[in-house]
Homo-oligomer: A and B are copies of this chain.
Amino acid sequence: MAVEKKTPLDTRALIINTALKLFSEKGIFNTSVQDIKRTANISIGSIYHHFPGKDAIVRALYEELLAKMQDLIEGIDQQYASAHDRCREVVRQIFIMTEYDPDAVRFVLQGRHLEFLPNEQPICSSRPFELMKDMVRDGITAGEIQGGDATLLAACLFGGPLRMVSLRLDGILDRPLPEQLDDVWTCAWRAVSA
């Protein structure tokens, strides 16, 4: 039986993952570095060796999740051609992610980090959200989506689905989101289709 040896990367990831779990459960402010220490079974010193402070943990987590989300959306952009198919796939992926990694979705979409990290841009100014707006813009140009302001139309298209995500994360909805994708998407697309 091989002896497992912890690499620095393991510890860093352990800290990040533990933090995400605790942040999601109790909130960022209610989670102390001591909590992370206890839950992860490591020492304070080790945490402060990997991160300058709690701020840095929150920031690293946010950037990591945002990058993951960006990759996902860029992949969709290449794989699908029409605005309809692209946007639908975005919603589908978010619905799936909400089920198997609710902590990550809560952290990114609920934008809890904003209260903790001052002078940070709101999530809707981030690259992934810009890409989603671009999808809508392309759809308008292509005549798939009705003419009008892209920001407004993006809000109307994704507003319903994102609201469903919030409700699901808050435990209001019993059924898994992917099961309800067709119904939600039908409504969402009707709102903006040309």
B-binding residues in A (CB < 8 A) = 26-30, 112, 115-116, 118, 122, 124-125, 148-149, 151-153, 155-164, 166-167, 170-173, 180, 183-184, 187-188, 190-192
A116 vs B122: C-alpha distance when bound (angstroms):
21
Provide 22 A-B residue pairs closer than 8 Å at the C-beta atoms, listed in order of the A residue: A26-B118, A27-B115, A29-B115, A29-B116, A112-B115, A122-B172, A125-B172, A149-B180, A151-B167, A152-B180, A152-B183, A152-B184, A153-B187, A155-B160, A155-B167, A156-B163, A156-B164, A156-B187, A156-B191, A159-B162, A163-B163, A191-B191
Docked Cα-Cα span, A191 to B163, in Å, equals: 14
Which residues in B have their C-beta under 8 angstroms from that of A157? 160
Top 7 A-B pairs, shortest CB-CB distance = A159-B163, A159-B160, A159-B159, A156-B160, A27-B115, A156-B187, A191-B191
Contacts of A163 in B (CB 8 A): 155-156, 158-159, 162-163
Query: Quick one: closest B residue to A180, CB to CB?
Result: B152
For A157, the closest partner residue in chain B by CB is B160
Choice from B30, B118, B151, B171 contacting A173 with Cβ under 8 Å? B151
Would you give the shortest CB distance from A35 to chain B, in whole angstroms? 14
- Whole-angstrom distance from the CB of A158 to the nearest CB of chain B? 7
The smallest beta-carbon distance between A105 and chain B, in angstroms, is: 15
Which B residues touch A28, using CB under 8 A? 115
B residues less than 8 Å from A180 (CB atoms): 149, 152
Give the Cβ gap from A55 to chain B, nearest Cβ, in Å. 13
